[in-house]
Structure 1
């Protein structure tokens, strides 16, 4: 389920496919069926592991990208491009 909003379209792929936003997962659910509780716990653990892997990859990628990056040096009077996004 891809619910992240695209900067190009302003919509998530999930919304464009279904015309609605996905419902949030409910972690604290009680059920009289033990299989449901095991499924929720397994899903929660997998989601947390995926989140941790994404954070670790982001740190590793940032570290690698910054190894050879130098600070930009600007002189007074130079022309520069500015982002007007924010």
Structure 2
């Protein structure tokens, strides 16, 4: 893998995280948490280290809306906390 391939891969995984947050309706809530930058960076790191990019992309394409992320989502706990804070759960 070249460095450029790595950067493209990282960017694609970051985009998946953004799509997941939007799909589950917590993207705005994420922006309002204390230490927003730190929380977001850790969420991006969890997404980047996930091995389910293809499954995640397919799941996102197949779901118009969802209440919970797939079981393999490494940000599942964060999403649940954001949903709780937003009164979605």
The answer to which structure has the higher helix fraction is: 2
Larger radius of gyration: 1
Q: TM-score when scaled to structure 1? A: 0.29
